[in-house]
Amino acid sequence: MRSFPGPVQYPDRWDKNYIEGRIRKERGRLGWASDGHVLAKRSKPLLYRIAELSLSVSGLYRRGHRNFLNPRFREIEHPLPAWPADLDGFCLLQLSDLHIDLDPRLVDPVRAILRRTEADLCVITGDFWEGGRTDHQEAPGALAAVLKSLPRGVAGPFGVLGNHDAIACGAWLESRGLRILLNEAVEIQPEGREASFALAGVDDAYYFASADVAGAAAQCPAHRFRLLLSHSPQTAPAAARHGFGLLLSGHTHGGQIRSPGGFGLRSMPGIPRKYFRGLWQEGPLRGYTSSGTGACQIPLRFHCPGEIVLHRLRSRPD
């Protein structure tokens, strides 16, 4: 059962030993082979099976699915004391946690938002695929359609891998024009501007413990503002120690299915509550954890809409 057309070609800049190590880690967790084949299908966790059955019986399933197909567009302004004055108002568009093979019908509402959105740079913070229990037959075409709809920024677009993403996914995404930052950094200098900043990205910290924040920081040009993409927000303490000023993440889905009182079906062991959803602060580091654009395990949302976020970066303090 193939997930990606053609043989997987890994970018030359990716270390071969790292690729081999990542593949060894993911075989047991994701059931992926290095050539993009699904080796085994995982069953849905019991909690999700119970929730899905209960919602179907109660008649709420359709409402939750409508919510899933109606992601929100959000604009957030970040006052950043170290952000270059020459780049004041720079707009960065973030998608996260598409899990596109869970229900490719999400593509049309996502593209509708993207078509009317302008941005200077676009990023996707991991979990492009659901994986495991789905056959992926529609996934490459669905994700390619999303990528084609992204506003073209000054460079990129860029992304990082999540805990559902095999490294073969990253290679395929690179072949479609989305640069995957695998514990590395690039310098972004918008056309016609003197100022620039460092954009870094790390591999998944949650399942694979493969995030190298120090290594990515070491590649950032000196005396530049540092912005980190990390699928999981659990890298925040390390990011603060290594001089990053802003961290964008996802992974938690904000709980995805929440009660009116705030209880979320999804929880993430090892991720402090303060990082779980929305804006947060870790010393000098400002962070945002997206509630995700898609959904995980079941294509439903309650009291926690999916989102596509436009981050407007301002060169001034709170």
Listed in order, strand segments (DSSP E) in the chain are: 72-79, 90-95, 121-125, 158-160, 179-180, 184-188, 197-201, 225-229, 246-249, 278-282, 285-289, 307-314
d(CA 51, CA 189): 47
Say what the pLDDT of residue 169 is: 87
Higher pLDDT, 134 or 137: 137
- The answer to whether residue 48 scores a pLDDT higher than 70 is no
- The answer to whether residue 79 scores a pLDDT higher than 50 is yes
Least confident of 19-23, 129-133, 175-179, 182-186: 129-133
For the record, the structure tokens of 21 come out as 């190590």
**pTM score above 0.85:** yes
Contact 131, 98 (CB under 8 A): no
Say what the pLDDT of residue 31 is: 65
Mean of pLDDT over the chain? 88
The alpha carbon dihedral of 108, 113, 116, 118 has a sign of negative
- The answer to whether residue 44 scores a pLDDT higher than 70 is no
Say what the pLDDT of residue 3 is: 54
Helices (H), 69-189: 107-115, 139-149, 167-175
Say what the pLDDT of residue 287 is: 98
For the record, the structure tokens of 124 come out as 């996707």
d(CA 63, CA 169): 32
- 1: pLDDT confidence band, cut at 50, 70 and 90? very low
Helix axis angle for 46-58 and 61-68, nearest 10°, is 110
Average of pLDDT values for 298-302? 92
Say what the pLDDT of residue 2 is: 45
Place of tokens 């529609």: 138
- Cα 251 versus chain centre, distance: 7
- Enter the CATH code of domain 16-314: 3.60.21.10
Say what the pLDDT of residue 140 is: 81
User: Helices H, strands E: what count in the chain?
Assistant: 8, 12
Helix axis angle for 139-149 and 107-115, nearest 10°, is 10
For the record, the structure tokens of 42 come out as 């995982």
| H/E segment holding residue 119 | none
d(CA 295, CA 98): 7
Q: Are strands 184-188 and 90-95 parallel, antiparallel or unpaired?
A: unpaired
Kindly report, residue by residue over 206-234, the tens digit of the pLDDT.
999 999 999 999 999 999 999 999 999 99
Average of pLDDT values for 76-96? 96
- 29: pLDDT confidence band, cut at 50, 70 and 90? confident
Average of pLDDT values for 134-138? 58
